[in-house]
Structure 1
Amino acid sequence: MLSWITYGFMALEAQKCLWRLLRIRHPGDEARLDALERAVLLEAGVRLVHDRPLDKYEKLRQLRERLGRRQKGEWVRAEARQVQLVGWWQRRRQQQQQQMECEEEQALAWEQAPADADEEHSASVTPAALSRCSSSLSLSGAASTPASIALDGLVMRSEAGDWDLLSAVSPLTSCDGSLDERSEGGMSSERRRKETSAARVAMLDPVRLQLSFNDAADPHPADPHMHTLVLGDERAMLEDPHTHLRPLLFLHGHSMSSVFFRHLFRDLVHSNRYVVYAVDLLGWGRSSRPPFDELGERSGRCYRRLDRERQVELAISFMVDALDAFLQHSGIAPWCRRNASDFDIVAHSLGAYTAAQYVAARPQAQVRNLILVTPAGVTARQSYIRALYFKTTPQLVARRAGLLGYLLFLIKWPRRDRGFQSRLLQQYTYGMATRAGNRSGDAAFSTLVRVSHRQRQATCLRPLAGVDGLLRRLPRCVRGEIRIIAGERDPLIPVQEMHLALQEMQMSGHAKARASLRVLPQCGHVPFVEDPAAFLTASGLLGMEGTEGEALAN
């Protein structure tokens, strides 16, 4: 077995050397992705332009397209933008500071807890209960201020500039392992010795990791950006306060990008109802890949030592905060506030999960209609095989496994499904998966899934139909209608889960709640790729009337 592993690594290194000798460009090269993205959109009659200055090649290419056989009226113009999330890292650091202040208050409450109380009262004031906060993990980078760090539900504090590992192992022990003076009452000494021993084992390694990662972190990282395709008369919408146009936001699913909605763009633009914004979610597609944890990719070992609930909170905040920042910096949210208007969202799979979390967390967001296409994470129970696919992060396999990763990608590509026969779309998707970068959006999503290999079961840790009642609160946060669209032959998410989601929404008790379900026959997990015409009819985006295509609220 060891010899096979050695041969595999040698083959990967030989392949990299061959690529360098033959001067073959990496599949994730940005120039190559630009050309592939343009070609993929051309297949759907969408002509892509960039907001950056044009070089001679771009000017000649546009001239050749104008002189081509395709008539000008058949083209739809799309502009590719990089929406900069200004202040992204500053807001994340503010969350860290808030977490630090919260943990310092909790540590102070621990110190002020009555030490001469009985054992039951002292046991009720546990470090795990005191250290939980709703914001992000706090890790201090200052050398001269009091710092605190919460790991495994326990709080450590240091009043000195340098960390004293022995004295910081437990708030109840001194450096020689004996009990502190304030802890003589309450629990028995034997019980406290057991807890302090467990605390030493749980906290010593993470502290060493934290010390090295704080020194290596970039103090001024560049703000990330989100790749966006903009279609429609945006200038008319922004300049005319009485315009009938409104923004329509598209959010893709796992391992996809904004170009997967390409067959919907022409009809939506020609309807003169929307200005389309198709977004690559942060950490996916051609958007930036900031590390999921603020400390960077190397802090993964330290991050996994957090309790499971805090991991889930960090993952959801990573996705929701990025979407909120995009709406602010793209101009959609300011335009809605200025004109007292709203916008629509069409979200698929992982994007639908993110959109539902965003709308529930931001009830003040001016969302009119919400279309959820085969949303992921409706119930807690998930497929074990599918969860393994997500936990291993396919993007990481494609980047690190070389030729083996490409073969695995070809095996997983649904070439027999309708709409997936395009060779250009396949190459573009593989190029996006192999882009250099950190474990970002894929790592955040994998945190939401827990896999039990012994029982061969998988669980979504924060399902939409969970005990927090997110789906029941969702109709109160939307001004118009919520519509669920599912494929009858979806092999990933059964239609029964969509019916369950609809029942949860209808139990909201909201008088104006309008929730509906459309099931498309002969379609699978991606109905807007497999049958775009049927999807547009079922969605009601074009204002069609009828049983299967009831118009959305205007």
Structure 2
Amino acid sequence: MPTSPERLKEAERKVLERVKVSIEHEFVRVGNYMMHVIVAGRGNRKDIVLLHGHSMSAAFFYRNFEQLVSVGYCAYAIDLLGWGRSDRPEFKGRTAEESIAYYVDSLQLCLQSIGLRQFALLGHSLGAYVAVQYTLKNPTPVSRLILISPAGIERKVSPIRALYFAFTPQLLVRRGGLLGYLGFIARYPRQPGFVAPGLRKLAYQLNAQPKPSGDAAVVPLVSLRGLSNAQCLFPLVECIERLRVPVHLVCGDMDPVVKVSEVKHLYELLKGIISDCHFTVIRGSDHCAFLEYPEEFFNAIFHEEIQSSATQYSACCPNDFTVSDVSVEEGSERE
């Protein structure tokens, strides 16, 4: 299964052709590099920035673009530096501080180049971790944080997770030839959403790109000193005291990567800091609630926007539209 940037572009195109709203591709200059941004809903009055997780890309939000546009958002889904179709510079840092700077500084420059002044910031897994670190450094433009199964919540990390980040799966996929491909197929998720046409091919192309970059930048965030001493060096629970923006936490009750108990612990801490804080568990979902159950995810996170849009439409066409109430309780499970 040879790979190249051209094959990655084609695999991404196959996935995004299913999106029913107009999307654009931008390549934004960030210093000496270019970052890839997928834009949906150009011209809408509200902005939202989407950050993908480890081993994924901006295109994995393809099931969310139409919904976001429908309630007035312009969505900017960004390929983090070193991932997706963004440039893949060699990561030369050795410390966790350098890893965070690699992601946060490039994201900051990207958003400045786009010209966003106020936006909601949604991140998944690694993207959620980066979103928090970005907001701590740049609180003014962020109106709301939406964190989906955030990585790096607690200092203690399971040895298996530490090994996953220290010896990245991309290393096996890009160097393993047929063995690497078979390993990828064996480990690829079977849950709803992941089995959509073309998505597995996109995931393979993303992770088989020949140059290590974004995956290498994650390695210093986790310290592995024997199987009994694995830890995240800058866990979220130890740096959230400076957050002052509304936060909504989301996770799946079947997530084997980020446990519900971890997200709930983060939520309990945030409640003591931020009054506008919510926590939703999506029943039946694994690690990617936004991809596996996009309707349930959207209704839980954007219920106020849904009601506002419905009310406006109902005012214009009262005989043709019925407004359904959508409620979210803190810590609730949604079916």
- Would the TM-score normalized by the shorter structure come out above 0.5? yes
CA distance in 2, matches of 1:443, 1:233: 33
Match 1:488 to one of 249, 253, 256: 253
CA distance in 1, matches of 2:164, 2:220: 13
Contact kept in structure 2, 1:473 and 1:505, CA below 8 Å: no
2:6 corresponds in structure 1 to 31
Contact kept in structure 1, 2:222 and 2:230, CA below 8 Å: yes
Match 1:543 to one of 306, 309, 327: 306
Match 2:16 to one of 37, 41, 47: 41
Q: Does residue 281 in structure 1 map to residue 56 in structure 2? A: no
Q: Does residue 225 in structure 1 map to residue 49 in structure 2? A: no
SS at match of 1:352: helix
Match 1:368 to one of 112, 134, 143: 143
Structure 2 residue identity aligned to 1:464: L
Change (3 A) 1:418 1:349: same
Gaps in structure 2 of 5+ consecutive residues: 308-324, 331-335
1:505 corresponds in structure 2 to 270
SS at match of 2:181: helix
Shift of 1:423: 4.5
Shift of 1:34: 2.3
1:133 corresponds in structure 2 to none
The structure carrying a bigger strand percent of its residues is 2
Shift of 1:400: 1.7
Aligned identity (percent) is: 39
SS at match of 1:369: strand
1:144 corresponds in structure 2 to none
1:113 corresponds in structure 2 to none
1:314 corresponds in structure 2 to 98
CA distance in 2, matches of 1:401, 1:33: 18
TM-score (norm: length of structure 2): 0.88
Contact kept in structure 1, 2:51 and 2:78, CA below 8 Å: yes
Match 2:206 to one of 416, 429, 432: 432
CA distance in 2, matches of 1:529, 1:422: 10
SS at match of 2:199: helix
2:178 corresponds in structure 1 to 403
Contact kept in structure 2, 1:472 and 1:507, CA below 8 Å: no
1:523 corresponds in structure 2 to 285
CA distance in 1, matches of 2:259, 2:329: 22
CA distance in 1, matches of 2:128, 2:67: 22
Query: Is the radius of gyration larger for structure 1 or structure 2?
Result: 1
Contact kept in structure 2, 1:269 and 1:275, CA below 8 Å: yes
Q: Does residue 442 in structure 1 map to residue 215 in structure 2? A: yes
CA distance in 1, matches of 2:5, 2:225: 38
Shift of 1:549: 7.8
Contact kept in structure 2, 1:233 and 1:275, CA below 8 Å: yes
CA distance in 2, matches of 1:35, 1:291: 24
Q: Does residue 357 in structure 1 map to residue 133 in structure 2? A: yes
Q: Does residue 77 in structure 1 map to residue 22 in structure 2? A: yes
Shift of 1:368: 0.7
Contact kept in structure 1, 2:51 and 2:77, CA below 8 Å: yes
Report 1:472-483 matches (<5 A): 472-474=241-243, 476=244, 478=245, 481-483=246-248
The structure carrying a bigger helix percent of its residues is 1
CA distance in 2, matches of 1:329, 1:395: 30
2:232 corresponds in structure 1 to 460
1:348 corresponds in structure 2 to 124
Shift of 1:498: 1.1
SS at match of 2:249: strand
| Residues 118-160 of structure 1, C-alpha deviations (whole Å, 9 max, x = no match) | xxxxxxxxxxxxxxxxxxxxxxxxxxxxxxxxxxxxxxxxxxx
CA distance in 1, matches of 2:203, 2:230: 27
Gaps in structure 1 of 5+ consecutive residues: 1-24, 47-74, 89-222, 238-244, 294-302, 305-310, 337-341
SS at match of 2:146: strand
Contact kept in structure 2, 1:257 and 1:285, CA below 8 Å: yes
Contact kept in structure 2, 1:82 and 1:226, CA below 8 Å: yes
CA distance in 1, matches of 2:210, 2:282: 37
CA distance in 1, matches of 2:234, 2:159: 17
SS at match of 1:447: helix
Shift of 1:535: 0.3
By relative contact order (CA 8 Å, sep 6+), the higher-ranking structure is: 2
Contact kept in structure 2, 1:347 and 1:371, CA below 8 Å: yes
| Residues 336-361 of structure 1, C-alpha deviations (whole Å, 9 max, x = no match) | 2xxxxx21111100000000011012
Contact kept in structure 2, 1:485 and 1:538, CA below 8 Å: no
Shift of 1:548: 2.2
1:262 corresponds in structure 2 to 62
CA distance in 2, matches of 1:403, 1:397: 10
CA distance in 2, matches of 1:346, 1:224: 23
Shift of 1:285: 1.2
CA distance in 2, matches of 1:506, 1:270: 30
CA distance in 2, matches of 1:444, 1:257: 16
Structure 2 residue identity aligned to 1:543: I
CA distance in 2, matches of 1:496, 1:370: 20
CA distance in 2, matches of 1:451, 1:352: 22
Structure 2 residue identity aligned to 1:36: A
When the two chains are superposed, the root-mean-square deviation of aligned CA atoms in Å is 1.8
CA distance in 2, matches of 1:539, 1:488: 16
| Residues 247-273 of structure 1, C-alpha deviations (whole Å, 9 max, x = no match) | 1100000000111111111122122x1
Shift of 1:32: 2.3
Shift of 1:441: 1.6
SS at match of 1:546: coil
Q: Does residue 381 in structure 1 map to residue 156 in structure 2? A: yes
Contact kept in structure 2, 1:540 and 1:549, CA below 8 Å: no
| Residues 217-245 of structure 1, C-alpha deviations (whole Å, 9 max, x = no match) | xxxxxx111111101133xx5xxxxxxx1
